[in-house]
Amino acid sequence: MQSNKWSIAAQNALILALVTILATLLQAVFPQMPGFIGILIWIVKLVLSIYLVYYFIKDYSKHFETFTFKQGFNFGAILCLLSSVICAAYLFLHMGFLFPEATTSQMEMVAQTMESSNPEGAEAIFGVMEHLPKLAFVFSLIYYTIFGLIVSAIVANYTKKGDMFAQ
């Protein structure tokens, strides 16, 4: 079962990452959505992601007579790390290749807003724009991984089963 853990986690991570990718795509394809719809999409993505982590850890635990917090957290951490890599890679592609004009227009709007109050900051934004997909990859990888570890720690506490002292 141990050698199968990475394979199962990879398959589940792909499904988990699709939730974030679909939410990102929805907002990119329909940029004129009202703000409350964007917030609603984010809330649905958050709840569905947490539920999927719980479901995948619970499903993985079915193969064990006893399932400890450590086993649940380890599987959840692997699941969320792999999902984070997929999401960060998609965000890099999204910003750098699939929808670069959307990213550029958003950054230009921010720069124009800043130009009157902070001209040096507006110039700095233009300097960062060419590196934005790479920066987004790194920071989203860190963010998704940390968030995934926190969710895994919480969820692993609710997926324990069996009496580990009864032997």
- Tokens for 79? 């699941």
- Domain segments of the chain as ranges: 5-158
Q: How far are the Cα atoms of 30, 67, 100, 136, 157 from residue 106, in angstroms, in the given order?
A: 14, 47, 10, 14, 41
Q: CA-to-CA distance for 24 and 58, rounded, in angstroms?
A: 27
Q: CA-to-CA distance for 95 and 103, rounded, in angstroms?
A: 6
Closest by CA position to 144, among listed 27, 16, 8: 16
pLDDT tens sequence across 34-57: 989 999 999 999 999 999 999 999
Average pLDDT, the chain: 91
79 pLDDT exceeds 80? yes
